[in-house]
Amino acid sequence: MPRSKIPKTYRGMKRLRQIAGVFIRHGFYNSVSLTNIPGVSNNVSKLERGYRGEVQGKDLSTAQRLRMTFEELGPTFIKLGQMLSLEPDIIPADFVEELQKLQDEVPPFSFEEVKEIIETELGEKPEKLFRFLEPIPMAAASVSQVHLGELFSGKKIVVKVQRPNIEEVIREDIKILNRIARTMEKRIDGMELLDPVAIVGEFENFITKEIDFSNEAASIERFVSNFKDDPTVCIPEVYWEFTTSRVLVMAHLDGLPIDELEKIKALGLNLDKVAHTGLNAFAKQILVYGYFHADPHPGNAMVMPGGEIGLIDFGIIGFIDQVLMGRLSNIFVGYAEHDYDRVISVFIDMGLVSDKVDLKGFKYDLMNVSEPYYGRSLEHIQVKKVFDDTLSIALKYRVRLPRELILLFKTLIAMESVGRTLSPQANILEAMKPYAIRFLERRHDPKTVLSNMRHDIVNYADMLRDSPDQVYKILKNLAMGTQSIELIHEVPRLKEIENSYVRSSNLITVGVVTGTSVLAGAWMLGSQHQYIPISIPALGIENIPLTIVLGLVSYSVATILGLWLVFTIFVRSGNWQKKRLIKFK
């Protein structure tokens, strides 16, 4: 078995051994030994002996020990665990539950390092950029930490600074994860079904976006634009002149964490109304803008003094495009009308259900899970219960739910939990209902229909315009031999038809050769030029020109081929007619 190629640098090997050591210390000795990684697999026994008797959490479940392992290994693994928690259709439920508990809180780095990073990124010392910058951070996470500050204009700000060398650490960890994933696919049976290499690739895209603060700044700007006319929602302003990929400066929202109920009551605010405002804000994000805050825990949602909802930390964002929103609407209508064929049709269109799925059983299970909800008020339906029921069917029929859909469910569950912290009657489905109705009505609005038609016409026009070029490229590639076309068919009589075409082609070819022979013979026999006299005394032939001989041969060939051609046509035609008579008798 070829060993995977792990970075040969001292730093890479040191980190690799550290990862292996932490996994072994938490009881994953067998998993590490399976990887067969150079520099680690040769020393697994040695590592195991070093940690023998020191396995942490011996009495804990495997899922709990994995969570502890990820927390100890730092930012890359914490973020990986958080992403894996969004894959309940491939990750066991107990692991998903534990990975959702991953804590992203670590000790802060020094204020001197904060100032050094700000100066490197912005080209000036913090003292020249800000009137004040609090040395003690408000919060410290695995990727960054946040400090309060103030501009010279007097505006209160929050300065988010990336951890020193964190990008380098994450990139090194991803290299190691990539190679471990490839090794797992080769050495562990069935692992290719989980596709760990693709998971690591997806994680790389996810984490790369998150550690570039300009992406978060752009997300904030979009939220500001979406809610500019909504006085019930507060989004912090981004100060772009102080923002880079490693430093993000935004306005400070002076509110209370949404779970501090007594302090909120002390402001004279109605908790039911606050809960409704928060749920309404998220319903608009999902069903109006298709762009939502996907991490709405109490630390990221706050209550402002006037009862508005303030949102911060836009590192994780969810998207729902118009196509997915339309499909979700069709699912919603299908459930509302008990039309499960419609629901299944949407699943098939989305590519979630394969041809091998037992559609009758799938439909029966959908009905069995969904019917109990009919006739019940939305306030008595919990999103988590709906999600768990949906997930159980997905797992049974191997339906792979899109990441966006799972992220949406997780957001709804989290938001409903936050809402019910404020008010037991809070229900995200009730908050979404009017927006869902408006969306469905909007789909049939003349302006929307015309807009969609205009969009489709433009797309079709582009396709027609590009078609000649595309056809030319295909034909050119075919002519050059750089492209081929393979026709695969399963039509029962297509082979018979194909053979018929081959026979017809052969007959045409024989006909052409026969005709050519007749013309050649006629030309040679009628030629006035006499070339190369031939004599065959045994046959009594004296001085016959070669042209006459070739003419006679051509006529002879034409006669033989002609007779064969006539025979073939009439005999086969007769057989075919006979078969037809027998078939339809």
d(CA 34, CA 41): 8
Query: How many Cβ atoms are within 10 Å of 555's Cβ, its own excluded?
Result: 17
Widest CA span in the chain: 134
> What are 534's strand-pairing partners?
544
CB contact at 8 A, 565 and 517? no
d(CA 345, CA 334): 10
CB contact at 8 A, 20 and 32? yes
Q: How far is CA 146 from each of CA 16, 93, 133, 211, rounded to the nearest angstrom?
A: 30, 33, 10, 14
Tell me, letter by letter, the H, E, C secondary structure of 311-325: ECCCCCEEECCHHHH
Q: Give the side-chain half-sphere CA count within 13 A for 494.
A: 6
* Predicted local distance difference test score (pLDDT) of residue 579: 41
CB-based burial, 190-203: b 16+ in 10 Å, e otherwise: ebeebebbebbeeb
Tell me, letter by letter, the H, E, C secondary structure of 40-57: CHHHHHHHHHHHCCCCCC
pTM for the whole structure: 0.68
Q: Long-range contacts: 109-117, Cβ < 8 Å, 24+? A: 109/140, 109/145, 109/163, 109/164, 111/135, 111/136, 113/164, 114/145, 114/147, 114/161, 117/161, 117/162, 117/164, 117/246, 117/247
Residue in 378, 371, 390 with CA at minimum distance from that of residue 416: 378
d(CA 551, CA 525): 5
SS3 of residue 295 by DSSP:
coil
DSSP summary character for residue 144: E
Residue carrying the six token digits 């209550």: 303
CB-based burial, 562-572: b 16+ in 10 Å, e otherwise: beebeeeeeee
CB-based burial, 423-444: b 16+ in 10 Å, e otherwise: beebbbbbbbeebbeebbeeee
d(CA 384, CA 381): 9
Residue carrying the six token digits 């699943």: 347
Cα 323 to chain center, whole Å?
15
Per-residue pLDDT of the chain (585 residues; tens, 9 = 90+): 344 444 445 566 778 888 888 888 888 877 777 666 655 555 555 555 555 455 566 678 889 999 999 988 888 999 888 888 877 767 888 888 888 888 666 789 999 999 999 999 999 999 999 999 999 999 888 899 999 999 999 999 999 999 999 999 899 999 989 888 888 777 777 666 667 888 888 889 889 988 999 999 999 999 999 999 999 999 999 999 999 999 999 999 999 988 899 999 999 999 999 999 999 999 899 888 989 998 888 888 999 999 999 999 998 898 888 778 777 777 766 766 677 787 788 877 777 777 677 888 888 888 887 777 666 655 666 777 777 887 788 778 877 777 778 888 888 888 888 888 888 878 887 888 788 778 777 766 666 666 666 666 666 666 667 767 777 777 777 777 776 666 555 555 555 655 665 666 666 666 666 666 666 666 666 655 555 666 666 556 666 666 666 666 766 776 776 777 666 666 555 444 444 433 333
* Predicted local distance difference test score (pLDDT) of residue 4: 46
Could you tell me if residue 351 is left (phi over 0), alpha (psi between -120 and 50 degrees) or otherwise beta? left
d(CA 359, CA 394): 13
* Predicted local distance difference test score (pLDDT) of residue 522: 64
H-helix or E-strand spanning residue 242: none
Q: Give the side-chain half-sphere CA count within 13 A for 464.
A: 6
- Lookup: tokens for 176: 């190691």
Where in 116-200 does DSSP place strands (E)?
132-133, 139-140, 144-150, 156-162
Cα 531 to chain center, whole Å?
79
